[in-house]
Each structure stands twice: as C-alpha cells, then as structure tokens.
Structure 1
Amino acid sequence: MQCQICKKAGMTGNNVSHSNRKTKTRWMANVHKQTLAINGKPVRLKICSRCLRTMYKPPRPKKARTRAAA
C-alpha cells in the first residue's frame, strides 16, 4: 500500500545473516485506512502514521522578521 498524501510506499533490501548470506526482503510503510474530515465531508484515505501524526500537530508560530542593520 501507498500513503495517499506523501506517496510513501514499501522498500526492498536484503536481510544479512551473521554468515553474510543475503535474502531479499521487503519493508512495508505503516499505512492505515482512516476516515478524515476534509472540507467538512468524511473521506476515507490510506495514510501513513507520520502524516497522521503531523496532521494533529499544532502549527508553529511565525517569527518576526528583523531588518539587518546597514
């Protein structure tokens, strides 16, 4: 499965044993089916846990811009 927001998907690689034998393996993204309210309407999405956590994170306050002394 693939995250519908950030497009994160599975990864392939090798399991390497102590004797250095290599076998193919696949690591899947942590994707969940969630019903989220988008523009007031419930929408069912496949979303990774990182995107889900970021959605509930409060926005950072903006810094005041200062002028450089010239």
Structure 2
Amino acid sequence: MSRRCELTGKAVQSGNLVSHSNHKTRTRFLPNLVNVSLISDSLKRSVRLRIAAAALRSVEHRGGLDAFLIKARDTELSINALKLKREIAKKLQVVETAQA
C-alpha cells in the first residue's frame, strides 16, 4: 500500500532535518493518512478510502464526496477514486435525464 492520498495525490516528501549547528540529516516527511468511510449521496452507499487529514477537510468544505470528485482533476486521483468518480458521474447523468 503506497503512502499516497487517494483524493489529492499528496505523497511522501524528502528533505533535511537541520540542527542548531546547521548539521543536515536526510529524512522523509510522511503525509497524515487516515482510513475513512465517506458516504456518497448519489450512490447511497459508503466508500472506504485512505486519504490525508487535510483532504478530509477539503471534502467537507466542497460539500461532500460527490462534489469533491466531480471537481477534482483526474491526474490527482487514484485508480479507485477514478472508478468512483465515473460511477458518480454516470449516476448523476441518469438522474438528470430522468428529470428532463
């Protein structure tokens, strides 16, 4: 399992820890990944994702998982998130044509 957020693409970064004496030591900065179950309003089911804590705040800010995925770029999303995005878009299109 990679250390990458499924929604935002945030991943491991590398850099230096710098001491007071300016001694540099290489290190890895890991993203704060959490396993969450998010509810899709259009699919009416929950989806388990491994996302960064900051991404969870972004999902809530945008108005839920469906709204976040519709606005998200495909290059940032994982394979599972892309499948979910296509499924949501298909469901929203079916609902839209049924209302018209």
TM over 0.5: yes
The CA deviation string for residues 2-51 of structure 1, in whole angstroms up to 9 with x for no partner, is 11001101111011112221111111111100011122121110011121
Larger Rg: 1
Give the unaligned 5+ runs of structure 1: 60-70
Q: 1:43 aligns with which of 47, 55, 65?
A: 47
Structure 2 equivalent of residue 13 of structure 1: 15
Count the aligned residue pairs.
59
What is the distance in 2 between the residues matched to 1:16 and 1:53? 30
> Which structure shows the higher strand fraction?
1
> Which structure shows the higher helix fraction?
2
- TM-score, with structure 2 as normaliser: 0.53
What is the distance in 2 between the residues matched to 1:28 and 1:58? 25
Root-mean-square deviation (CA, aligned residues, Å) is: 1.5
4+ residue runs over 3 A deviation:
none
Identity of aligned residues (%): 37
- TM-score, with structure 1 as normaliser: 0.72
